[in-house]
């Protein structure tokens, strides 16, 4: 009886430590097993030559040395840069549409939802829709170009154009996402500051730049975060629209890694992991920046 009572009081005394521990345990364990440990494992596997089934042989940094001279890797890396830079266009484009739609006319809610529509459908369907849109013979793009006397162009068949064609498809849902972030942000803009700005004679661009944009900063931050992540995660569109082609010109790191590790080009898990590590290191720069900004907010919130 006495021990049972002691147990009870030990639990009671430490309940402020035990409760969060027990509540965290399942989530943290799951996340460690499927996300954190695999990141570390990728670093380890990248030092081996391994086909995923047989014995892995330790080869040190050989995979990375091979990367340095791999032309396909260079193209993929370069395409990732294009994705990163051009994908950011979604932010001003989203702001533009948000400003355009931030009115109160009949049915504006429905219009806003329909503008947002592309974000809700899967990237697979977006990819299919755009690859049909670009078709040289059946596609709507060339039908429209034909009317104004241009074309026909085969966007996805041309190695110099294909990546841009895919990025344009990706910008479609991403712009919709940024738009909704800004529409929500615009709702929260302080009307008194706008009035004050008007009294100071600010309007149009000056008002936007000096009064509105500073208040939209939280929305811009989230738009920036999700757009960077989206650009580095690009895979579905490439897989659906060109499958890396023509002549490997549309590969990005995540796609090249998949090809090397899991497709008919052979099961080179080590080499694939080395590509994953490079991709992770690129992302780490951004993750570091995001976490730092969030940490600043946390500190500010505590005081």
Contacts (CB under 8 A) with another protein, residues 166-185:
172, 177, 180-181, 184-185
205 is an interface residue for another protein by CB under 8 A: no
249 is an interface residue for another protein by CB under 8 A: no
Number of residues that bind another protein (CB under 8 A): 101
* Nearest CB to another protein, comparing residues 41 and 57: 41
202 is an interface residue for another protein by CB under 8 A: no
CA 5 to chain CA centroid, Å, is 54
CB of 91 to another protein, least distance (A): 14
Contact (CB, 8 A) for 265 and 271: no
Mask for 256-275, x = binds another protein (CB under 8 A): -xx--xx------x--xx--
- Phi, psi at 49, each rounded to 5°: -105, 115
208 is an interface residue for another protein by CB under 8 A: yes
- Which neighbouring-strand residues pair with 57? 49
45 is an interface residue for another protein by CB under 8 A: yes
Contact (CB, 8 A) for 165 and 156: yes
Q: What angle is formed at CA 39 by the lines to CA 36 and CA 41, rounded to 5 degrees? A: 110
69 is an interface residue for another protein by CB under 8 A: no
Nearest one of 186, 192, 181, 179 to 212, comparing CA atoms = 186
Contact (CB, 8 A) for 141 and 147: no
Q: Where are the beta strands (DSSP E) in the chain?
A: 48-49, 57-58
**Helix 269-302 × helix 71-87 angle, to 10°:** 30
8-state DSSP, 302: H
What tokens were used for 177?
Answer: 């996402």
- Termini Cα distance of the chain: 47
Residue found under tokens 């990728």: 42
Binding-site member from 8, 81, 121, 285 for another protein (CB under 8 A) = 121
Binding-site member from 1, 120, 148, 199 for another protein (CB under 8 A) = 120
- Positions 226 through 245 that interact with another protein (CB under 8 A): 229, 232-233, 235-236, 239-240
Q: Which stretch binds another protein (CB under 8 A): 2-10, 65-73, 156-164, 278-286?
A: 278-286
1 is an interface residue for another protein by CB under 8 A: no
61 is an interface residue for another protein by CB under 8 A: no
- H/E element, 48: strand 48-49
Length reported for the chain: 303
- Positions 5 through 44 that interact with another protein (CB under 8 A): 15-17, 19-21, 23-24, 26-28, 30-31, 33-39, 41-42
- Positions 138 through 167 that interact with another protein (CB under 8 A): 138, 140, 143
* Nearest CB to another protein, comparing residues 16 and 68: 16
94 is an interface residue for another protein by CB under 8 A: no
Contact (CB, 8 A) for 152 and 142: yes
294 is an interface residue for another protein by CB under 8 A: yes
Q: Which stretch binds another protein (CB under 8 A): 1-9, 59-67, 95-103, 151-159?
A: 95-103
Q: Which stretch binds another protein (CB under 8 A): 62-70, 82-90, 149-157, 208-216?
A: 208-216
296 is an interface residue for another protein by CB under 8 A: no
CB of 158 to another protein, least distance (A): 19
Strand pairing class (48-49; 57-58): antiparallel
């Amino acid at each position: 009886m006495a021990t049972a009572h002691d147990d009870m009081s030990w639990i009671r005394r430490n309940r402020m430590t035990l409760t969060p521990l027990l509540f965290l345990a399942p989530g943290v364990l799951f996340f460690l097993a499927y996300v954190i440990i695999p990141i570390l494992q990728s670093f380890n596997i990248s030092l081996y030559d391994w086909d995923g089934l047989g014995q892995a042989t330790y080869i040190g940094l050989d995979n990375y040395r091979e990367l340095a001279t791999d032309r396909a890797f260079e193209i993929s890396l370069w395409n990732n840069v294009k994705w990163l830079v051009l994908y950011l266009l979604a932010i001003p484009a989203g702001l533009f549409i948000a400003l355009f739609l931030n009115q109160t006319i009949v049915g504006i809610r429905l219009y806003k939802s329909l503008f947002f529509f592309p974000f809700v459908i899967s990237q697979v369907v977006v990819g299919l829709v755009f690859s049909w849109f670009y078709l040289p013979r059946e596609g709507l793009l060339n039908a429209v170009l034909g009317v104004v006397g241009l074309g026909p162009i085969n966007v996805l068949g041309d190695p110099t154009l294909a990546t841009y064609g895919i990025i344009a498809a990706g910008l479609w849902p991403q712009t919709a996402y940024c738009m909704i972030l800004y529409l929500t942000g615009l709702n929260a803009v302080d009307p008194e500051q706008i009035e004050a700005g008007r009294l100071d004679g600010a309007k149009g661009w000056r008002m936007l730049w000096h009064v509105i944009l500073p208040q939209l900063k939280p929305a811009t931050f989230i738009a920036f975060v999700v757009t960077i992540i989206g650009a580095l995660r690009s895979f579905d569109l490439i897989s659906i629209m060109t499958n890396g082609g023509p002549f490997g010109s549309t590969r990005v790191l995540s796609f090249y890694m998949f090809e090397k590790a899991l497709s008919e080009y052979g099961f080179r898990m080590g080499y694939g992991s080395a590509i994953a590590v490079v991709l992770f290191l690129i992302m780490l720069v951004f993750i570091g920046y995001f976490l730092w900004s969030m940490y600043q907010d946390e500190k500010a919130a505590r005081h």
